[in-house]
Amino acid sequence: MNHFLSRCKDGWNRFVEKLSEIEFFRKIGITYQVLWNLLLITLIIGLLSAMFAGGAAAGYFASLVADEPSYSEEDMRMQVSSLTETSEIYLANDVLLGKLRSDVEREIVSLDEVADEVKWAIIATEDEHFYEHEGIVPKALLRATMQELSNASMQTGGSTLTQQLIKQQILSNEVSFDRKATEIMLAMRLEQFMSKDEILEAYLNVVPFGRNASGRNVEGIEAAANGIFGVTAAELTLPQSAYLAGMPQSPYGYTPFTSEAQVKDDDGLRAGFNRYRTVLNRMLEKGYITEEEHNEALSYDITTDFAENAPDPMSKNPMLTSEINRRATAVLVQQKIDAHEGWDQLSATAQEIERTEFLEQVENAITNGGYKITTTIDKELYDAMNEAAQNSDAFFGAEKKWST
């Protein structure tokens, strides 16, 4: 330390000697000793101010999160992985009839079932330092805070993928310093409990992607890939991956489909295309793709990949879907009754109360639990019977011929 101060003082002496050669400084008669003392005082005051500001900031942060519950690893893992998943109905021979209606359509996949291009695009766009930080990026947070305080027209955001996952699964969308402080604390804690790949996998299954070709809300990369491009997440190409990776910033602004299951017009698609180009540029800047891949993707007509309108089974086959749903519900409710110890000893009123509760639980589970409901209905036979039912000649043709 003494050696460092000695070197600083020698450098300062040379600086003051240079100043003394200037007529202005000779006239005011300030010596190098005076300037050296002023420098030391300024440095000490600056250091103390920085320590005070840091302590005050740490104290304020602690006060914001003081009342938050202490989440254990088990608690955080459970909440992060708590996801609804859309149930599906299958006819005989594993023929998909369709998905049951729910508030959000989602299919959960593991990280190794997702194309690498998707991972690169998401990281390059949403969190370029994902594999380096420990939950937060202080510089990005400071920048976002300054933009917020100055009410800047351009808000770049400072949330990492970990923070976004915390906000989506554990906290609310409330905008306040309390919630932001809690988000930061929980993001840093989650990084201690889960690996980077686990966090990325959870994020890809949670993030919203607007609407699919049926006009339904979709969340998670698998439902988005299937509903927007008609492929699995593992089959996504570079252009498709880049297009989807840009959507989480504004899911309903960038989605190509309307709530009426129609492709948006040119004006409606423009925002998504601009975002698509931004994602490709960032992937190029970060070295995830080559210049050639970048140019090919930019010139690719992504609209040719959009999935065709795919109505849900409830609207296409309302009576069949309702009947299958009713029977599946009845089977699961009966299973709960059979598993209930002492069911026969309950009064009729108590049984009715329990049955109603079981029914609510089963209906929610079938809607959001990712069930695969299979039937023995042969699709070809079912379609033939429907066609016959709609063809009056099948019932009255003989009578018409006789009457003529």
Lookup: tokens for 24: 């202005």
- What's the average model confidence in pLDDT over 365-386? 84
Supply angle C-alpha 235, 369, 123, rounded to 5. Answer: 40
Task: List b or e across 136-146, with b for residues whose CB sees 16 or more CB atoms inside 10 angstroms.
Answer: bbeebbebbee
Which long-range contacts link 351-357 to residues 24+ away (Cβ below 8 Å)? none
Q: For the segment 228-266, what is each residue's pLDDT rounded down to a tens digit?
A: 999 999 999 999 999 999 999 999 999 999 988 899 999
Which amino acid type is present at position 155? Q
> What pLDDT score does 260 carry?
87
Q: What is the pLDDT of residue 141?
A: 63
Residue 162 has pLDDT above 50, yes or no: yes
| Mean pLDDT, residues 71-77 taken together | 79
For every residue of 104-118, DSSP letters joined together read SB-----GGGS-HHH
Percent of residues, the chain, with pLDDT higher than 70: 72
Of residues 148 and 117, more confidence is placed in 117
Of residues 236 and 66, the one with the higher pLDDT is 236
Q: Which CATH superfamily is domain 77-87+103-305 in?
A: Biosynthetic peptidoglycan transglycosylase-like (1.10.3810.10)
Mean pLDDT of 195-213: 94
Question: pLDDT of 112-128, one tens digit each?
Answer: 999 999 999 999 999 99
Distance of CA 140 to the CA centre of its chain: 19
pLDDT at 361: 81
What's the mean pLDDT in 80-98? 83
List, in sequence order, every residue forming a beta bridge with 265; answer none if it has no partner: none
- Which pLDDT value is given to residue 393? 63
Average pLDDT score, the chain = 80
pLDDT at residue 154, rounded to an integer: 47
Q: pTM (2 decimals)? A: 0.70
343/331 Cα distance (integer angstroms): 17
Please report how many Cα atoms fall inside a 13 Å half-sphere around the Cα of residue 131, on the Cβ side. Answer: 6
Q: Tell which residue, 167, 84, 184, has the closest CA to residue 133.
A: 184
Residue 92 burial (CB < 10 Å; 0-12/13-18/19+)?
middle
Domain ranges of the chain: 2-65, 77-87+103-305, 317-403
Q: How far apart are CA 290 and CA 284, in angstroms?
A: 6
Place of tokens 């899911």: 251
pLDDT above 90 for 281: yes
pLDDT at 385 over 90: no
